[in-house]
């Protein structure tokens, strides 16, 4: 394998969406995934009706919720819609389904592939137990997450980051809950997302407002108050990149977390990854494509960033801001959709 037209580093939802779109148009695609198994990731596993819920097979959905329970220091509201607002999904199931679709379209998806270096002409990669090899490319697409090697190759910084911590607890819960407890999480939040036989319990916060160690301690305290003792369990943490500086860099492209397209307020990343992956594929196929969907997500991300920056000014302002936001939801001045990355 000396040269491939399109090399995608990372087989997350964004990389696989890009691979499928390119392959369906007859383009040569190689996806390099360092993990042995595609799909698993630290994630609450929520997808929204306005974003992706309508586009994935119903068989992949584990639980669907038309009512969202939102808690603040002073309020508890129920947001109801006719259609499900959010459904939960297994990231492994989603990844495996997307990998099969990309492979069926003609993309070569290679797991256990560790990229060690990148130049403007080629990538150096070790494929499982084989010796390292250099593979030249025409287009390089970085879909390799918040600590992206491709982003580093482009010389981009990542100053706007958040941390998500997630525990998967055996059992069943009937309500999907969001807890905007500013005393504990400032502008971040904790969640209870029921899946089929497990419950995702976790918290997210921007790094500018709270460091990971403090977030974990506050999450454990809050979870205990909700009746979940997580201290003896093994949780998982991941960085979330919301430092968007563009997707298109000549023959090099960034998508999803690698592009910094996640929400700094909610940590939502699946929708931005898939939509940006499709947009990058369209730009490769048609260099004149302007990618309005990227611009729309960037505007939504900036709105979320303004909330973070305002809330960071003082604990009182943070609390007032969250109470006001939920009050607007209560009286339907704004819809729950305003918190999503979908335009």
Q: What are 315-324's pLDDT values in tens digits?
A: 999 999 999 9
* Mean pLDDT (whole number) for 3-23: 98
Measured N-to-C along each axis, helices 292-311 and 315-330 cross at an angle, to the nearest 10 degrees, of: 130
Catalogue all structural domains in the chain, each as residue range(s) with its CATH number: 3-339 (3.50.50.60)
The length of the chain, given as a count of residues: 343
**Residue 169 pLDDT greater than 70, yes or no:** yes
Longest dimension (CA), the chain: 62
Report whether pLDDT(121) > 90. yes
Can you give the pLDDT at residue 202?
A: 98
pLDDT at position 1, please? 64
Please give the average per-residue pLDDT across 51-77, as a whole number.
Answer: 92
Looking at residue 192, its pLDDT comes to 98
Those residues whose C-beta lies under 8 Å from the C-beta of residue 131, and which sit 6 or more positions away, are none
Q: How many whole angstroms from its chain centre is CA 78? A: 25
Show the tokens assigned to 217. 């301690």
Residue 337 binned pLDDT confidence (cut-offs 50, 70, 90): confident
Q: 121-128 long-range contacts, Cβ below 8 Å, gap at least 24?
A: 123/7, 123/9, 123/32, 125/32
């Amino acid at each position: 394998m000396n040269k491939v037209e399109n090399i995608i580093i990372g087989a997350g939802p964004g990389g696989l969406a890009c691979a499928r779109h390119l392959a369906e148009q007859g383009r040569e695609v190689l996806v390099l995934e360092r993990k042995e198994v595609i799909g698993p990731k630290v994630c609450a596993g929520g997808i929204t009706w306005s974003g992706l819920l309508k586009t994935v097979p119903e068989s992949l959905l584990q639980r669907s919720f038309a009512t969202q329970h939102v808690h603040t220091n002073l309020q508890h509201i129920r947001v109801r819609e006719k259609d499900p607002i959010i459904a939960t999904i297994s990231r492994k199931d989603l990844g495996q389904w997307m990998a099969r679709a990309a492979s069926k379209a003609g993309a070569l998806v290679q797991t256990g592939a560790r990229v060690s270096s990148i130049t403007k002409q080629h990538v150096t990669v070790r494929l499982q137990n084989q010796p390292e090899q250099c593979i030249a490319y025409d287009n390089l697409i970085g879909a390799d997450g918040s600590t992206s090697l491709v982003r580093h190759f482009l010389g981009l910084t990542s100053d706007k980051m958040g941390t998500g911590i997630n525990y998967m607890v055996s059992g069943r819960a009937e309500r999907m809950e969001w807890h905007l407890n500013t005393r504990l999480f400032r502008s971040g939040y904790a969640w209870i997302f029921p899946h089929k036989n497990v419950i995702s319990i976790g918290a997210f916060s921007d790094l500018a407002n709270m460091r990971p160690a403090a977030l974990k301690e506050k999450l454990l305290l809050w979870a205990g108050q909700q009746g979940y003792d997580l201290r003896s369990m093994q949780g998982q943490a991941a960085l979330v990149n919301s430092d968007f500086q563009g997707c298109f860099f000549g023959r090099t492209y960034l998508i999803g977390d690698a592009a910094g397209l996640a929400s700094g307020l909610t940590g939502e990343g699946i929708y931005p990854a898939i939509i940006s992956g499709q947009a990058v594929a369209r730009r490769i196929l048609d260099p004149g494509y302007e990618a309005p969907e990227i611009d729309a997500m960037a505007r939504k991300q900036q709105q979320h960033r303004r909330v973070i920056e305002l809330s960071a000014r003082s604990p009182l302002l943070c609390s007032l801001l969250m109470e006001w936001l939920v009050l607007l939801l209560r009286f339907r001045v704004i819809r729950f959709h305003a918190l999503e990355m979908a335009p």
